[in-house]
Amino acid sequence: MTTIKENTFIEDQPLRRKVSDIHTSQVVTTLPMDKIGDVAKKMSAASVSSVVVKAFNGKPVGIITEKDLVRKVLSSDRPDLERKAHEIMSPEIITVRPGDFTYQALLMMVKHNISHVVVTDEHDVLHGIITIKDLIRNRNSGALSIVRQIEQKDTFSSLAEMINEIDQVQLALLNERSYASEVCALITELYDRVTRKIIQIAETQMIEEGWGTPPAKYCFINMGSAGRKEQFSRTDQDNGIIFEDPEEVSAEQVTDYFLTIGKKIVLGLEECGFKRCPGEVMADNPYWCRPLSKWKYSVKQWVDKLDSNNVRNMTIFLDYRCIKGCEDLYDELKNYTTTLFRDAKHALLFMAEDDLKHRVPLNMFKRFITDKTESKQKVINLKSAVMVHLVDCVRLFALREGIRETNSFERIKRLGECGVFKADDVEYLHSAYEALLMFRIKNGLAKIKKGDSPNNYLDTDNLSRKDKSRLRRSLIAVSRLQTLTAHAFHVHKA
């Protein structure tokens, strides 16, 4: 078993310094109508690798990097240096605020595979720029280094070597007292990178073995906690493949291709520490690797025939997220399921009743209801006894409101914005889920350090008085959410 060691990586990761502490305030700028030749001279004179294109009101409208100059201008046989800046700039600008943590700038670079993040104030006026060099100088480029190393791997075994490095990033974030939501966000991006690389390696293997390139468009999806971007440890796999309905090529041939590549992807993930799903919810299972039309048919069947098995499938599936491939397929299925569930009041009621069969482990005196282990420890299963209720209930409200986000924090925020949850409830639920996630993360890491397998059981006797109070408040918040759910979906026997 991989163990986590305290090392210099942790000490060298000041991930919670403010962006304003390390960003460059003297930004080289240009106007949209300036000539490319003049832009290049500015970059050369200032020895910078990017120029921010700024409007007269001081707001950035684009960015031009050295890569833009090479790819869009200099690679031409006859470079036209008379072209205007707005013609080659990248208009999609990724921004952070001066008061944000450098962790957030790092996350943006990892997520969007960029090396520059623009800093703007609350009025979106240009304030500065933060680059990979700034992060390197301030010793928090570890995650970016991991991204580069992931991209260089070409086998599952070499990719598996990166997993311990990702564990070290997680430990560094905790050492910096990062929030659980921050830990999950960055670790999710790194795991997504690993998954996308596994898919790329699998596609190469398919070509080498004579299967050729994909015979139809497809996308690989993650479901469950990975789909919700709430995966902080390598949990069991929950994934699938959506592929385009075959036209010219036979359906059997197309299905065989995607089941074969699905098997390779699942094996690659398994080699990197993501265990097989005990329920076989994986891309090598024909039930979870199918054309778009059959996915739609299955979802409709789940809604029309409500039983415990279909509810289980729905709760796993409905948090699905596209990791790699054709996003049009993902969007079409997402639009279909969003519309279907928004109008399926009977399905929402059934799912609400299913969740409310069990309540959080608190008695009428707000004391913990614990289970006893063989070693006579008093424990609470944080996942199945507590967190699942928050996830399920928040998902129900999100489905009813047609909210497409899968992350529980994002869903809570959106439900507050549309008036479903009061501002106090949003803050209460956000804090509760944050606390519960942090309990699970720290509990899991503590077990790994001891060489034990991580699990979801929290020993309440080992908690400090402060942590017991925090856990109790979190359980009360989830209990209140269950009561709100009962009223909102008219569950009379909750």
Q: In the CATH hierarchy, which fold is given to the domain comprising 142-339?
A: Beta Polymerase; domain 2 (3.30.460)
DSSP letter assigned to residue 210: T
CA angle 405, 408, 412 (to 5 degrees): 85
* 79-91 tens-digit pLDDT: 788 889 898 898 8
CA torsion angle 274 280 285 289 (round to 10): -70
What is the pLDDT at residue 380? 93
At 4, is the pLDDT very low, low, confident or very high (cuts 50, 70, 90)?
very low
What is the pLDDT at residue 15? 57
Task: Give the CA distances from residue 138 to residues 12, 97, 168, 190, 245, in Å, rounded to whole numbers and listed in that order.
Answer: 8, 18, 18, 21, 50
Percent of the chain with pLDDT over 90: 51
Residue intervals of the chain classified under CATH 3.10.580.10 are 18-100+113-135
Task: Give the chain's mean pLDDT.
Answer: 87
Alpha helices in 402-464 (DSSP H): 408-417, 423-449
Question: Is the predicted pLDDT of residue 7 greater than 50, yes or no?
Answer: no
Q: Could you tell me the maximum CA-CA distance found in the chain, to the nearest angstrom?
A: 79
Higher pLDDT pick, 208 / 308: 208
Question: Is the predicted pLDDT of residue 472 greater than 50, yes or no?
Answer: yes
Q: In the CATH hierarchy, which fold is given to the domain comprising 353-488?
A: Four Helix Bundle (Hemerythrin (Met), subunit A) (1.20.120)
* 391-412 tens-digit pLDDT: 999 999 999 999 999 999 999 9
What is the pLDDT at residue 494? 42
What is the pLDDT at residue 374? 66
Q: CA–CA separation, 145 vs 178, rounded Å?
A: 20
DSSP letter assigned to residue 276: P
Q: CA–CA separation, 216 vs 315, rounded Å?
A: 28
Task: Give the CA distances from residue 35 to residues 189, 438, 459, in Å, rounded to whole numbers and listed in that order.
Answer: 37, 52, 66
Judge contact between 362 and 380, C-beta under 8 A.
Answer: no
Q: Which amino acid is at 394?
A: V
Closest by alpha carbon to 218, among 322, 73, 77, 84? 322
* 316-330 tens-digit pLDDT: 999 999 999 999 999
* 8-51 tens-digit pLDDT: 333 344 556 788 888 877 888 999 999 988 988 988 888 888 89
Q: CA–CA separation, 218 vs 292, rounded Å?
A: 9
Question: How remote is the C-alpha of 6 from its chain's centroid?
Answer: 26
What is the pLDDT at residue 3? 37
Q: CA–CA separation, 291 vs 197, rounded Å?
A: 23
Judge contact between 288 and 265, C-beta under 8 A.
Answer: no
User: 3-class DSSP state for residue 459?
Assistant: strand
Residue intervals of the chain classified under CATH 1.20.120 are 353-488
Which range of 83-92, 154-163, 408-417 scores highest in mean pLDDT? It is: 408-417
Least confident of 237-251, 365-379, 386-400: 365-379
Tokens of 353: 């009743």
Count CA atoms within 13 Å of residue 374 on its CB side.
0
Average pLDDT on 354-375 reads 87
Domain 18-100+113-135 classification at class level: alpha beta
Residue intervals of the chain classified under CATH 3.30.460.10 are 142-339
Tokens 């997402």 appear where? 334
Element (H, E) at 260: helix 251-271
What is the pLDDT at residue 333? 96
Tokens 């994934």 appear where? 239
What is the pLDDT at residue 1? 34
